[in-house]
């Protein structure tokens, strides 16, 4: 039961049926109650499985978990049958077989499965129930190819996954054909491989060059924006640091040269010392010089009055004679 988790699911035509117990007819009620380990409920699901996607995987998961003990067989139609009854596929039959083998819910893959299930096919593979969505599937001239399976009580419905299908994926590819063609040309595919005309090839290559140029311009713009942002961050940091340094400088300047700064105190101290040096303190009142008359001592006779110099020689001689007379009186 754990083989599908460690290795690809085997092909039915490469191995014999592993169910050793007699294949007795089971009802849905009996299958849901559980069967012995050596008698798993053999559930069959078929399809084209082109462009295998999550919708396919979810349908197989539902088929695998319908009963407590089940063995899931998946039938894949060949390219001939598919092209005949449904249309052309993107993946060939070998690719579709391999895609199913690597799905974790699949226990066995039946290649070249029939389009309509026959009693002989059901008996050959000992199929108990057929799992498929309940929507009538009209094909090959029938309104519902599972009608006889439903009438036999062997049909178990599953739910479709909305929003995804092979047709939706193909529609996306067709809608965006130019995008995918340009991408594959850029990756090295030739115009012949892509079935692209010469004119379209040149157009796609020119568009690729334009896109490259736009991408370069976009990268340059992003780098320039990043550079400007870094410069703004750096300038903001520089301005912030400058403001901090300027505040610190102003504070230091005010501490040194402000009204109560250290420089003023130092200047006052030095000016006080200089004043003391140039004007020493007066003598005390008890000094003997204080007892003398406050009158000034007479000036020496040879000192002239600077304020009124003699205007003539006669005046000068008169002044000298008066000074001599004064000296005689003083004697």
List pLDDT tens digits, range 4-17.
677 888 898 887 65
In terms of domains, do 198 and 143 share one?
no
**For residue 324, what pLDDT is reported?**
47
**For residue 327, what pLDDT is reported?**
47
Q: Is 242 contained in some domain?
A: yes
In terms of domains, do 154 and 262 share one?
no
- Compute the distance between CA of residue 182 and CA of residue 271 in angstroms, rounded to an integer: 92
* For residue 261, pLDDT beyond 70: no
Q: Are the CB atoms for 145 and 115 separated by under 8 Å?
A: yes
- Compute the distance between CA of residue 245 and CA of residue 239 in angstroms, rounded to an integer: 10
In terms of domains, do 153 and 49 share one?
yes
In terms of domains, do 35 and 130 share one?
yes
In terms of domains, do 29 and 132 share one?
yes
CATH of the domain at 113: 3.40.50.620
Q: Is 176 contained in some domain?
A: yes
Report how many domains make up the chain: 2
In terms of domains, do 123 and 244 share one?
no
Residue ending a domain, among 266, 301, 317, is: 266
- Compute the distance between CA of residue 263 and CA of residue 270 in angstroms, rounded to an integer: 10
Check the CA dihedral 219-225-228-229 and report its sign: negative
Q: Could you tell me the pTM of the whole model?
A: 0.61
In terms of domains, do 170 and 146 share one?
no
Residue ending a domain, among 247, 266, 285, is: 266
Domain holding 116, by residue range, is 12-158
Q: Is 312 contained in some domain?
A: no
In terms of domains, do 127 and 241 share one?
no
Q: Are the CB atoms for 180 and 158 separated by under 8 Å?
A: no
- Compute the distance between CA of residue 157 and CA of residue 131 in angstroms, rounded to an integer: 6
In terms of domains, do 187 and 217 share one?
yes
More confident residue, 297 or 239: 239
In terms of domains, do 36 and 152 share one?
yes
pLDDT band at 306 (very low <50, low <70, confident <90, very high): very low
- Compute the distance between CA of residue 180 and CA of residue 174 in angstroms, rounded to an integer: 9
197 phi and psi angles, rounded to 5 deg: -70, 165
* For residue 62, pLDDT beyond 60: yes
In terms of domains, do 20 and 142 share one?
yes
The three-point CA angle 18-119-51 to 5° equals 70
- Compute the distance between CA of residue 153 and CA of residue 129 in angstroms, rounded to an integer: 8
Tell me the CA end-to-end span of the chain in Å, nearest whole number: 159
pLDDT band at 281 (very low <50, low <70, confident <90, very high): low
In terms of domains, do 17 and 149 share one?
yes
Return the DSSP state at 304.
P
Q: Is 31 contained in some domain?
A: yes
Q: Is 144 contained in some domain?
A: yes
Residue ending a domain, among 266, 286, 318, is: 266
**For residue 140, what pLDDT is reported?**
65
How far is CA 317 from its chain centroid?
116
């Amino acid at each position: 039961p754990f083989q599908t988790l460690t290795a690809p699911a085997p092909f039915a035509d490469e191995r014999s049926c592993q169910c050793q117990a007699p294949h007795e007819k089971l009802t849905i009620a009996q299958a849901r109650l559980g069967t012995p380990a050596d008698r798993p409920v053999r559930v069959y699901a078929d399809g084209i499985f082109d462009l295998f996607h999550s919708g396919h995987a979810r349908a197989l998961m539902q088929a695998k978990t319908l009963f407590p003990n089940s063995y899931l067989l998946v039938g894949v139609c060949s390219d001939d049958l598919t092209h005949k009854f449904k249309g052309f596929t993107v993946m060939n039959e070998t690719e579709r077989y391999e895609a199913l083998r690597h799905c974790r819910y699949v226990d066995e893959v039946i290649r070249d499965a029939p389009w309509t299930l026959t009693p002989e096919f059901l008996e050959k593979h000992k199929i108990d129930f057929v799992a498929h969505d309940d929507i009538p599937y009209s094909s090959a001239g029938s309104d519902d190819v599972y009608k006889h399976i439903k009438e036999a009580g062997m049909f178990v419905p599953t739910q479709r996954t909305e929003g995804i299908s092979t047709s939706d994926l193909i529609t996306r590819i067709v809608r965006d054909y130019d995008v995918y063609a340009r991408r594959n040309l850029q990756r090295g595919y030739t115009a012949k491989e892509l079935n692209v005309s010469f004119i379209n090839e040149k157009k796609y290559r020119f568009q690729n060059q334009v896109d490259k140029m736009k991408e370069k311009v976009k990268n340059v713009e992003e780098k320039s924006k990043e550079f400007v942002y870094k410069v703004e961050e750096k300038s903001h940091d520089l301005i912030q640091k400058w403001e901090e340094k300027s505040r610190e400088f102003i504070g230091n300047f005010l501490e040194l040269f402000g009204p109560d700064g250290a420089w003023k105190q130092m200047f006052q101290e030095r000016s006080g010392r200089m004043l003391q040096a140039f004007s020493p303190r007066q003598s005390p009142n008890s000094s003997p010089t204080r007892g003398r008359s406050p009158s000034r001592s007479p000036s020496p006779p040879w000192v002239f009055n600077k304020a009124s110099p003699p205007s003539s020689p006669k005046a000068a001689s008169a002044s000298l004679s008066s000074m001599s007379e004064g000296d005689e009186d003083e004697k």
